[in-house]
Amino acid sequence: MGDLQDQQFLHSKLGTPWSDGTEGVTQCPILPGETFIYKFVVDRAGTYLYHGHYGMQRAAGLYGSIIVSLPEGVSEPFSYDYDHNIILSDWYHASTNEQAAGLSAIPFVFVGEPQSLLIYGRGKYNCSLSTASGIAAGVCNTTNPECSPYSLTVVPGKTYRLRIGSLTSLSALSFEIEGHDMTVVEADGNYVEPFAIRNLYIYSGETYSVLVKADQDSSRNYWATINVVARKPATPTGLAIFNYYPNHPQKQPPTVPTTGPLWNDTTSRLAQSLAFKARQGFINTPPVTSDRVIVLLNTQNKIDGHFKWSLNNLSLILPQTPYLIALRENLTDAFVQDPPPDGYDFANYDIHSVAKNVNATSSNRIYRLRFNSTVDVILQNANSMTVNNSETHPWHLHGHDFWVLGYGTGKYNLSRDWRKYNVVNPIMKNTAPLHPYGWTALRFRADNPGVWAFHCHVESHFYMGMGVVFEEGIEKGGELPSSIRGCGESEGHHRP
Amino acid sequence: MGDLQDQQFLHSKLGTPWSDGTEGVTQCPILPGETFIYKFVVDRAGTYLYHGHYGMQRAAGLYGSIIVSLPEGVSEPFSYDYDHNIILSDWYHASTNEQAAGLSAIPFVFVGEPQSLLIYGRGKYNCSLSTASGIAAGVCNTTNPECSPYSLTVVPGKTYRLRIGSLTSLSALSFEIEGHDMTVVEADGNYVEPFAIRNLYIYSGETYSVLVKADQDSSRNYWATINVVARKPATPTGLAIFNYYPNHPQKQPPTVPTTGPLWNDTTSRLAQSLAFKARQGFINTPPVTSDRVIVLLNTQNKIDGHFKWSLNNLSLILPQTPYLIALRENLTDAFVQDPPPDGYDFANYDIHSVAKNVNATSSNRIYRLRFNSTVDVILQNANSMTVNNSETHPWHLHGHDFWVLGYGTGKYNLSRDWRKYNVVNPIMKNTAPLHPYGWTALRFRADNPGVWAFHCHVESHFYMGMGVVFEEGIEKGGELPSSIRGCGESEGHHRP
């Protein structure tokens, strides 16, 4: 699984910020052969993810789900007969070391689109060559049952809760089950007001629960598919079989699997993002105003000839000494103490064009937030270094859920666009997409003492600097465990 | 999973005797919510088991397999296409707390035969009532695929290595796959000279690898079955489906599943035990003679009205302070320092009758062995407290493999029966059966510094005192980790 490994748990980890698993932020790397125990209170039921958070280790497959059960005597506000967990991912033939080396090289070498899409860890390669029709794409005729696609067996008439998480390196996905509506009921561990969809857009780092009723013709099977959206696809449809008992689980559906919605139909994706509301009876109302607004301009840049991603022209490089240790022990030379900027040159920056000057600066500065204050973050998208191209970035905040106040297109207007916010029943999440040429407005309470990464969940983007770090209430909480030490200025080498 | 848990790994754990996981022998109990890390070198490839080793916790389901791979560049001395792992077990409706309370009660309450037999954790209850024929026994017609039996899909013409382990509480089993020969190639992590069988007798704590070729009519499926042997069965046959691709995995075979060999055909079981030889080219020859012979008479007894099992009239009760700590730190009041006897009243004890005096004594004495000496253990079976009944006991030794020198019937004759030993190519194992009214002769090198349990692997028998403890080279090796402390005279309470 590579040489070093961390874990990122998508929980709040209130009181145990050293269990967040972010190398360089909350701990030193875990060396080969070492053991590191993450211990934290799971404070809310729901569907979560964990994965390696060092270099590009996640892309090598170091990930999984965490399902937190409801306390005894409490039940979900919706009903279903069975509960299944499905991770979606993409897969490359190039090793993550190769990929990372390319990203750091001059000239820049980008691995590009994945070779396969995986459902439940299963996918196919090169099967599209076997037929022209595409029916066999991703399935291939084979006599080896170990190469067969994932098959979800359902009993006619029963309702299934599918807990779907995406841990793709790169790809935004559209997931659908042929001929079946899905009702969304949970997102990132929060209940949402149920609504029916034909396809679910899901971005890396997100989780959703959908309810699906096996109410179609039970004499056949159906395709479950994933397709790339938001980037021009070069990867075949990922396939699984929605198997009606007692048909053979591997019996091919009689239909051609969908190739999904138009990859560049941003409007449809934005509309789905806007459709989510907190569930009635479970609304956690946000503070009406905030104490601070931080606008983060998302740009692709160059630094000394290397390709980078930046926020307000600063590209994140994590320090040798993890922030959590440096801040607790006042190691002021561990990183630059000046804060990064709260905004960019709003008046003059043209988000619809390649920047006139694409050069940026490397930085390890952090945002220090007043404990218990309310913070708004406006993510502002822009043109990349390619003409007429703006990418989709799923932004993930550690240690908190945020309210998703709104999404919009074009340049966010500070004096006007806050009027578009939903402050009545906004959904809470820990990951939200920033759509091409658009903005996403988030609000959170800085109420979790510690240091927390906030970054684009595309593996290569974070690797190339697309993140910031928040600190709040660092002086609070218990003693740091020695297990997080052993690098930079943090003394000693930890032993498990 | 109950309140306390330990782990028992069936490896030698040379140099890390504190990682054996035997509560009372090598460590204190692990308290609820605590974490305990077992760390040891896996020094040989093969198929092993682990399980809770506190009270009757194993019977509650705290168990699993450990498959140790071959080092890179080394290959097995046999070939196969696919590798599958299968645990066999039995299942009770009464909780293990209830079962344990009954075993300690006056009058004695024995939980008796299990309600179900499980293959890969799957079994059925009360299905035998649904038809008279027994075909549906253990399968039941159901529209719920989650209640279906384990189905092992095979590709016609391919060869499968099945790694089969038994972790039953009580039952000795016969495993077979309808219409298919099996070739045994591994036992307890040691290569055996391949030989073909129709049914495999397997006792709790044992593992075997068998090779099975999918060479039968591939238009249908076949039953894989387990049946109770060595005790009068009251549990329906445990069923799985040996599924020929592309038949439906749950398609019922057109046949009636076998109810197995006669449960009381001891001759057939003894013959299979005797058939195992070490594999040519992998023979580890035992020392020709031993330095010490310990004969252990296996009897069922009473102590103060409680039912017990004893060795040489002593029934094991583990001390509050684990032996490993007590011996290292010379806590001489932690257990009785006098050794237990190396034999019984050979001349006068009639192994074929209920003992004239069934009373025994509780004991925490241990056998202290000279480091690096060669020790023979002769297990001697006898009549239980029931007329015309002698039970089967699978004996498991921690921390070592032993050579299985021989099996015989009747009372072992010290001056004569050693001539029957196989010292040319005996198999090495860590668990071996003692058959009714018979004897089993084992030899091992006392070359692993530490304290090691040797006990009957029937959960209730060990709970009722059926074990002994060996010490060797206690003064050697590294410092004891603090994590094993926290009970009896071992100071402090450990924190993970």
pLDDT tens for each residue of A6-40: 444 444 578 899 999 999 999 999 998 898 999 99
Helix ranges restricted to H, A124-210: none
* B146 three-state secondary structure: helix
Q: A432 near A402, Cβ under 8 Å?
A: yes
**Residues across chain A:** 496
pLDDT of residue A127: 64
Chain A hits for B37, Cβ within 8 Å: 35, 37, 496
Write out the H or E segment, with its range, that includes residue B102.
Answer: helix B96-104
The count of structural domains within chain A is 2
pLDDT of residue A12: 59
Whether B82 sits inside 8 A of A155 (CB atoms) is no
Question: Å from B134 to nearest chain A CA?
Answer: 22
Q: A231 near A171, Cβ under 8 Å?
A: yes
Q: Of A82, A145, A496, which is closest to B155 when you measure between CB atoms?
A: A145
Whether A246 sits inside 8 A of B249 (CB atoms) is no
- Average pLDDT value for residue range A335-360: 96
Question: Å from A323 to nearest chain B CA?
Answer: 25
Between the two ends of chain A, the Cα-to-Cα distance in Å is 19
Report chain A's mean pLDDT, rounded to a whole number.
92
Q: Confirm whether A47 is domain-assigned.
A: no
Write out the H or E segment, with its range, that includes residue B433.
Answer: strand B431-434
Q: Confirm whether B273 is domain-assigned.
A: no
Q: Is B322 found in the same domain as B237?
A: no
Residue showing tokens 């465990």 = A481
Residue of chain A whose alpha carbon sits nearest to that of B34: A39
What is the C-alpha to C-alpha distance for residues B358 and B362, in angstroms, rounded to an integer?
A: 13
Calculate the alpha carbon distances from B375 to A250, B199, B372, B393 in Å. 56, 33, 9, 20
Calculate the alpha carbon distances from A119 to A90, A145, A186, A201, A238 in Å. 9, 16, 20, 15, 7
Q: Is A218 found in the same domain as A339?
A: no
Residue A453's DSSP bridge partners are A469
Angle at Cα B64 formed by Cα B58 and Cα B65, nearest 5°? 140
Locate the DSSP E strands across B245-366: 292-303, 306-311, 314-316, 361-363
Q: Is B456 found in the same domain as B334?
A: yes
Write out the H or E segment, with its range, that includes residue B463.
Answer: helix B459-463
Question: Å from A301 to nearest chain B CA?
Answer: 44
Whether A37 sits inside 8 A of B146 (CB atoms) is no
Q: Is A316 found in the same domain as A252?
A: no
Nearest to A443 by CA among A428, A433, A453, A458: A428
Helix ranges restricted to H, A237-322: 266-275
What is the C-alpha to C-alpha distance for residues B180 and B199, in angstroms, rounded to an integer?
A: 9
Nearest to A298 by CA among A51, A79, A464: A464
Distance of CA A106 to the CA centre of its chain: 28
pLDDT of residue B146: 72
Q: A449 near A399, Cβ under 8 Å?
A: no
- Average pLDDT value for residue range A187-202: 98
Among candidate residues B263, B283, B314, the one where a domain is terminated? B263
Write out the H or E segment, with its range, that includes residue B8.
Answer: strand B8-9
Q: Is A304 found in the same domain as A271?
A: no
Question: Å from B301 to nearest chain A CA?
Answer: 44
Q: Confirm whether A418 is domain-assigned.
A: yes
What is the C-alpha to C-alpha distance for residues A359 and A363, in angstroms, rounded to an integer?
A: 13
Q: Of B37, B146, B155, which is closest to A35 when you measure between CB atoms?
A: B37
* A448 three-state secondary structure: coil
pLDDT tens figures, A77-129:
999 999 999 999 999 999 999 999 999 999 999 999 999 999 999 998 876 54
What is the C-alpha to C-alpha distance for residues A150 and A239, in angstroms, rounded to an integer?
A: 8
Residue B159's DSSP bridge partners are B213
Check residue B482 and report its DSSP letter. G
CATH number reported for the structural domain that contains residue B198 in this entry: 2.60.40.420
What is the C-alpha to C-alpha distance for residues B214 and B162, in angstroms, rounded to an integer?
A: 12
Chain B hits for A82, Cβ within 8 Å: 146
Give the structural domain span for A342: 292-484
Calculate the alpha carbon distances from B402 to B211, B284, B440, B447 in Å. 24, 11, 12, 12
Q: Is B336 found in the same domain as B221?
A: no
Q: A26 near A323, Cβ under 8 Å?
A: yes
Q: Of B35, B82, B146, which is closest to A37 when you measure between CB atoms?
A: B35
Q: B117 near B172, Cβ under 8 Å?
A: no
Q: Of B143, B153, B246, which is closest to A245 when you measure between CB atoms?
A: B143
For A414-481, the three-class secondary structure string (H helix, E strand, C coil) is CCCHHHHCCCCCCCEECEEEECCCEEEEEEEECCCCEEEEEEECCHHHHHCCCEEEEEECCCCCCCCC
Of A302-306, A492-496, B240-244, B355-359, give the lowest mean pLDDT range.
Answer: A492-496
pLDDT of residue B147: 77
Q: How many CB pairs under 8 A join A and B?
A: 32
**Tokens standing for A457?**
């969940």
Nearest to B224 by CA among B254, B261, B180, B262: B180
Residue showing tokens 């939980």 = B111
What is the C-alpha to C-alpha distance for residues B131 and B281, in angstroms, rounded to an integer?
A: 51
pLDDT of residue A4: 34
For the CA atoms of B66, B72, B78, B80, the dihedral, rounded to the nearest 10 degrees, stands at: 70
Q: Chain B interface residues facing chain A, Cβ-Cβ under 8 Å?
A: 35, 37, 39, 82, 143-146, 153, 155, 245-246, 248-250, 496
Chain B hits for A496, Cβ within 8 Å: 37
Q: B309 near B299, Cβ under 8 Å?
A: yes
- Average pLDDT value for residue range A415-427: 96
Predicted complex: ipTM over 0.90: no
Q: Confirm whether A14 is domain-assigned.
A: no
What is the C-alpha to C-alpha distance for residues B236 and B131, in angstroms, rounded to an integer?
A: 13
Question: What distance separates the 2 farthest-apart alpha carbons in chain B?
Answer: 68
Check residue B11 and report its DSSP letter. S
Residue A243 has pLDDT above 70, yes or no: yes
Among candidate residues B217, B244, B263, the one where a domain is terminated? B263
Residue A432 has pLDDT above 60, yes or no: yes
Low-confidence ranges of chain B (pLDDT < 50): 1-11, 129-138, 493-496
Among candidate residues A275, A308, A330, the one where a domain is terminated? A275
Q: Is A344 found in the same domain as A260?
A: no
In this prediction, residue A495 has a pLDDT band, given cuts at 50, 70 and 90, of very low
pLDDT tens figures, B207-233:
999 999 999 999 999 999 999 999 999
Angle at Cα A377 formed by Cα A376 and Cα A379, nearest 5°? 150
Residue showing tokens 């559906």 = A253
What is the C-alpha to C-alpha distance for residues A394 and A207, in angstroms, rounded to an integer?
A: 12
Q: A438 near A270, Cβ under 8 Å?
A: yes
pLDDT of residue B140: 61
Residue A165's DSSP bridge partners are A87, A207
User: Which amino acid belongs to residue A134?
Assistant: G
Check residue B37 and report its DSSP letter. -
Nearest to B433 by CA among B412, B458, B459: B458
Q: Is A342 found in the same domain as A193?
A: no
Q: Confirm whether A239 is domain-assigned.
A: yes
pLDDT of residue B11: 47
**Tokens standing for B130?**
């649904």
User: Which amino acid belongs to residue A325?
Assistant: I
Residue A68 has pLDDT above 90, yes or no: yes
Q: Is B216 found in the same domain as B172?
A: yes
pLDDT of residue B143: 64
Q: Confirm whether B11 is domain-assigned.
A: no
Q: Is A433 found in the same domain as A323?
A: yes
Q: Confirm whether B494 is domain-assigned.
A: no
B142: left (phi over 0), alpha (psi -120 to 50) or beta: beta
Write out the H or E segment, with its range, that includes residue A87.
Answer: strand A82-91
User: Which amino acid belongs to residue B14?
Assistant: L
Q: Is A354 found in the same domain as A260?
A: no
Q: Is B167 found in the same domain as B251?
A: yes
Strand A292-303 to strand A306-311: parallel, antiparallel, or no bridges (unpaired)? Answer: antiparallel
Calculate the alpha carbon distances from A143 to B40, B157, B213 in Å. 40, 11, 16
Count how many Cα atoms sit within 13 Å of the Cα of residue A190 in the half-sphere of its side chain.
Answer: 28
Q: A470 near A396, Cβ under 8 Å?
A: no
* A116 three-state secondary structure: strand
What is the C-alpha to C-alpha distance for residues A233 and B384, in angstroms, rounded to an integer?
A: 73
Between the two ends of chain B, the Cα-to-Cα distance in Å is 19
Residue A443's DSSP bridge partners are A376, A403
- Average pLDDT value for residue range A177-181: 98
- Average pLDDT value for residue range A139-165: 86
Q: Confirm whether A203 is domain-assigned.
A: yes
Q: Report whether the peptide linkage leading into residue B481 is cis, meaning its omega lies within 30 degrees of zero.
A: no
* A323 three-state secondary structure: helix
What is the C-alpha to C-alpha distance for residues A326 and B416, in angstroms, rounded to an integer?
A: 76
Helix, strand, coil fractions of chain B, as percent rounded to 5:
10, 35, 55
